[in-house]
Amino acid sequence: MKAYLTRRYRFSASHRLHSDGMSDTENSITYGKCNNPYGHGHNYTLEVTVSGHVEPETGMVCNLVDLDGFVEREVLEIFDHQNLNTLAQFSELVPTTENLSTAIYDILQRGFSKAHLEKVRLEETMMNSFEYAGGGEIRR
């Protein structure tokens, strides 16, 4: 039996949306108040969805201790309370939440092998959330 597990995590980070390839005016028009030179912060909610067969012995898709430990070590410790603009992942990318979702997905895809990674969902505000499934179609 295949089942899905979604686990929720929280972290805080700041960023400034600014592209070096655009003029200050273009950046201001494109990113509005998110182009503030001093940046701004968010309290993000990250949802990680994995899938797999329910192991008869444990009754689980994967052990939450394994998933929590990996996400804490490889995602939260990197991004929590950071200015995303200063991180290597965003040296050539605008640190939008779309790009952050992709970066987190890639970290999980490369390193978490205890279950199949389906998608990540990153909530930036009450009004904005972003999902990424590694280029695969997200079904609703």
- Active-site residues: which are they? 34, 81, 124
Q: How many CA atoms lie within 13 A of 20 on its CB side?
A: 6
- Sign of the dihedral defined by the CA atoms of residues 130, 131, 134, 137, in that order: negative
Q: Can you give the length of the chain in residues? A: 140
Contact 54, 116 (CB under 8 A): no
Q: What are the phi and psi torsion angles at 139 (to 5°)?
A: -90, 140
